[in-house]
Amino acid sequence: MISFDTATVFAAWATGCLAWQAVIGARREVVFGAAWVIRVGALMLAGAALVAAFFDGWSPGRDVAIGVLVVVTGVALATSITEHRRAKVSGEFDAGRPDAATRSADRLDGFAAAAGAVAVILGALDAGGPAVLAVARYVVGAAALGGLTFTLVFGHRMLAKPYLGRGPLELATTALLIVWPFEIGVMLIPTGMVSVLDGMIDDGYAGILGWMWAMCALTTGVLVIIARVILADREHSKAASATGMLYLSGLCGIGAVLISRAVLSG
């Protein structure tokens, strides 16, 4: 069993979003608008984590780290907006690619993700149970939630602005296919979702939640694979189909992550 700590789950989600933005943003392929959405989303999730901590009880180390994440992400967002305006005024703005000066904002994303990782690890250790398994579940969950969110955001952005190119989305879907099996695996380790599926753990709904998790987990992987195959086809008209698959995989995947943790929290 694991503890479903709302503040740590929100912190993990924010951390995952920033980590994916930092890694893929470093390739100089993520434009201003998509990066802004990721950063604003991370700020909202981290803010929700602090609100949850206020009601559920503070964990000093974790919550200080979340606060650092919020401050650094806010600075990264402000820096990116400032550089965007500067590039437009100077005539250097390229709608399809970010300005080189935004590297400072990308570095800040990395620092914010590092602070978030500290918060997630400390929160996992506070959650109780086997320490290594608890940390693994929260860290892998952060990576899965971040990847699902990133593909949702950039997929929509690519659909709205076709000239952005598929590079970030192809990289993100490939990485997500690597991360997702680990998310399933860490939730199957005893005591895990196998115990829910075989009835040893009562989910309160006659096993329905366990099977919902299984279907969501499987469907997520299949949809991401289909999206990746579609993206490999260079015909632009098929990009909308890939985006639709990523919308569905995001909903199923986020549902799988949250269901498993809620059920195993007892």
Domain ranges, ordered by start, for the chain: 6-264
pTM attached to this predicted model: 0.89
How far apart are the C-alpha atoms of 1 and 137, rounded to whole Å?
Answer: 11
Strand partners, 97: 94
Q: Which of 252, 24, 16 shows the shortest CA–CA distance to 144? A: 16
CATH architecture of 6-264: Up-down Bundle (1.20)
pLDDT band at 212 (very low <50, low <70, confident <90, very high): very high
Residue pair 240/139 in contact by the 8 Å Cβ criterion: no
Q: Which of 124, 120, 102 shows the shortest CA–CA distance to 39? A: 102
- Cα 85 versus chain centre, distance: 28
- Specify the pLDDT at position 43: 96
pLDDT band at 168 (very low <50, low <70, confident <90, very high): confident
Task: Please count the helices (runs of H) and the strands (runs of E) in the chain.
Answer: 9, 0
CB atoms within 10 A of CB 202: 14
Helix (H, G, I), strand (E, B) or coil at 94: strand
How far apart are the C-alpha atoms of 225 and 127, rounded to whole Å?
Answer: 33
Q: Give me the mean pLDDT over the 235-254 stretch.
A: 84
Count the alpha carbons within 13 Å of 248 in the hemisphere toward its beta carbon: 17
Residue 85 has pLDDT above 80, yes or no: no
- Specify the pLDDT at position 28: 55
